[in-house]
């Protein structure tokens, strides 16, 4: 009698366990998916916080380089910022940036060139001027992808995008920064060469 009771209880537990197993499996799967979504959203939000700080820092460094070395121009409309850890270089070009006074370079300006989501920041040349932005392929918290949904060509209105939540703005913080480059570097370089060649 006692052994029959034990077998009955054991059978109930087996049956009950089988009936509850799919339910617990679904709950576990839903929990893992929810955690993955929360983590993904948090990651993109954290990326935007980092971007908002880095673009300002990089713009200030670029302005320092312009004061010291006079930036003439850039080889492309968009160039990666991958040269700030350079100590010395030959010629007047570092990375894709041309300088009037390369001898005044005081790098490295950073130990490592910053990246976000594994992509380098970039200098973008537009009709409005020069800007630091996250690199092409970076996914922002508004789900927009730089270079695909946010086109940064020569006609891009980056100043407007910097205040647009669906553009380059996160909680009122711009995700791009203007580089204030002083004009006249080419003229200064031409005068420098004339003095060098003709002794003016």
**Tens digit of each residue's pLDDT (9 = 90 or more) over 173-194:** 999 999 999 876 555 655 665 5
Q: How far apart are CA 24 and CA 61, in angstroms?
A: 55
C-beta atoms surrounding 13 within 10 Å? 10
Asked which of 29-43, 64-78, 84-98, 131-145 is least confident by mean pLDDT, the reply is 29-43
pTM: 0.76
Range of the domain at 141: 2-198
Q: What is the number of domains present in the chain? A: 1
């Amino acid at each position: 009698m006692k052994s029959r009771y034990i077998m009955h209880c054991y059978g109930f537990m087996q049956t009950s366990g089988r009936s509850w197993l799919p339910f617990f499996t679904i709950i576990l799967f839903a929990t893992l998916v929810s955690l993955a979504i929360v983590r993904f959203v948090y990651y993109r939000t954290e990326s935007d916080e980092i971007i908002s700080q880095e673009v300002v820092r990089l713009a200030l460094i670029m302005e320092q380089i312009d004061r010291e070395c006079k930036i003439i121009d850039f080889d492309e409309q968009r160039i990666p910022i991958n040269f700030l850890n350079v100590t010395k270089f030959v010629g007047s070009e570092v990375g894709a940036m041309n300088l009037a006074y390369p001898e005044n370079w005081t790098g490295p300006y950073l130990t490592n060139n910053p990246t976000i989501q594994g992509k380098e920041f970039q200098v973008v040349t537009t009709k409005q001027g020069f800007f630091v932005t996250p690199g092409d392929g970076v996914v922002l918290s508004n789900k927009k992808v730089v270079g695909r949904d946010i086109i940064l060509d020569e006609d891009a209105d980056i100043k407007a995008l910097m205040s647009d939540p669906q553009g380059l703005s996160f909680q009122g913080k711009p995700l791009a920064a203007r580089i204030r480059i002083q004009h006249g570097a080419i003229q200064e370089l031409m005068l420098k060469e004339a003095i060098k060649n003709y002794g003016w």
